[in-house]
């Protein structure tokens, strides 16, 4: 039996379920919860298994994460009357969203992918080069912990590295606070899961309206990776925020929320 993950919710209307990144939690979407609820949506932000008060899963795989997310969606739909949710995923949360869309497409009515990828690594890498890049990436991410830093100190180091020159200072500060709460054991397990993720073959099977949002200065998920993914999803739209890095929703929340709400206002969204 899959336990229901913890989440926060605000507002009423079509449900937007927001899935955070590897160094995140439900509070990472605090600006969006308020903005989307005020716009007439039921805004829901989860804590991925192992984050916040959500129970960890074992093994820690995208299959298990997608199952946990699907259980949450089904629970939300019981109170809403079915029809699926608008699924918004950032970073690792975007990978979970892709996994849910592949395994349980009936649960997703629209898809928003932000600073994420269908497989970790450079857009034009060979499989061998990609595997090498993934090993180096994990080692680089874990090096500060291996050197004795705790998660709050890691957050202070990481946020300036992943944000762009136009990042809102308040958004960066919130990112530091959220990242500091992540359990190091969960962070390690999530990194291991990410390097084995590959949903490139599933992208052409996505048949719901899809918006991709990238950051011009994102060095974690390069714009070229986002553009390549958009080309593989028929009818999708890709928008790039100037001067913004990996934390698009926190660095430029007004612009980000406007993009999402404009996308959701298109007439193909079934009410």
Give the model confidence (pLDDT) of 164-220 as tens digits: 999 999 999 999 999 999 999 999 999 999 988 999 999 999 999 999 999 999 999
**pLDDT grade, residue 80 (50/70/90)?**
low
- Fold of the 7-264 domain: Rossmann fold (3.40.50)
Q: Please state, in angstroms and rounded to a whole number, the distance separating the CA atoms of residues 180 and 184.
A: 10
- Residue 243 is predicted with a pLDDT of 97
CA trace torsion 18, 21, 117, 13 (10° rounding): 0
- Residue 95 is predicted with a pLDDT of 97
Q: What is the average per-residue pLDDT within 106-127? A: 91
Give the model confidence (pLDDT) of 140-151 as tens digits: 999 999 999 999
pTM: 0.94
Q: Are 40 and 3 in contact (CB under 8 A)?
A: no
Q: Please state, in angstroms and rounded to a whole number, the distance separating the CA atoms of residues 180 and 222.
A: 24
Q: Is the pLDDT of residue 239 over 50?
A: yes
Out of 117-121, 185-189, 235-239, least confident range: 117-121
Q: Are 117 and 229 in contact (CB under 8 A)?
A: yes
Q: Is the dihedral of CA 173, 212, 15, 76 positive or negative?
A: negative
Give the model confidence (pLDDT) of 16-41 as tens digits: 999 999 999 999 999 999 999 999 99
Q: Which residues pair with 212 in a beta bridge?
A: 113, 238
């Amino acid at each position: 039996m899959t336990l229901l993950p913890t989440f926060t919710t605000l507002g009423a209307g079509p449900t937007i379920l927001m899935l955070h990144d590897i160094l995140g939690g439900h509070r990472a979407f605090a600006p969006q919860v308020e903005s989307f609820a005020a716009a007439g949506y039921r805004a829901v932000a989860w804590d991925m298994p192992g984050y916040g008060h959500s129970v960890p899963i074992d093994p820690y795989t995208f299959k298990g994460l997608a199952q946990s997310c699907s259980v949450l969606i089904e629970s939300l739909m019981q109170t809403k009357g079915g029809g699926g949710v608008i699924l918004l995923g950032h970073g690792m949360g975007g990978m979970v969203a892709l996994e849910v869309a592949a395994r349980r497409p009936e649960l997703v009515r629209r898809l928003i992918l932000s600073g994420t990828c269908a497989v970790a690594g450079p857009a034009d890498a060979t499989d061998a080069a990609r595997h090498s890049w993934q090993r180096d990436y994990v080692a680089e991410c874990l090096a500060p912990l291996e050197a004795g830093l705790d998660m709050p100190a890691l957050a202070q180091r990481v946020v300036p590295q992943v944000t762009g020159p136009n990042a809102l200072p308040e958004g960066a500060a919130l990112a530091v606070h959220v990242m500091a709460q992540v359990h190091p054991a969960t962070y390690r397990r999530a990194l291991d899961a990410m390097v084995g993720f590959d949903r490139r073959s599933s992208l052409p099977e996505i048949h719901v309206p899809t918006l991709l949002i990238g950051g011009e200065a994102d060095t974690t998920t390069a714009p070229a990776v986002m553009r390549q993914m958009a080309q593989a999803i028929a009818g999708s739209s890709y928008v790039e925020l100037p001067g913004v890095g990996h934390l698009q929703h926190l660095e430029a929340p007004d612009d980000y929320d406007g993009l999402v709400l404009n996308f959701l206002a298109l007439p193909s969204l079934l009410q």
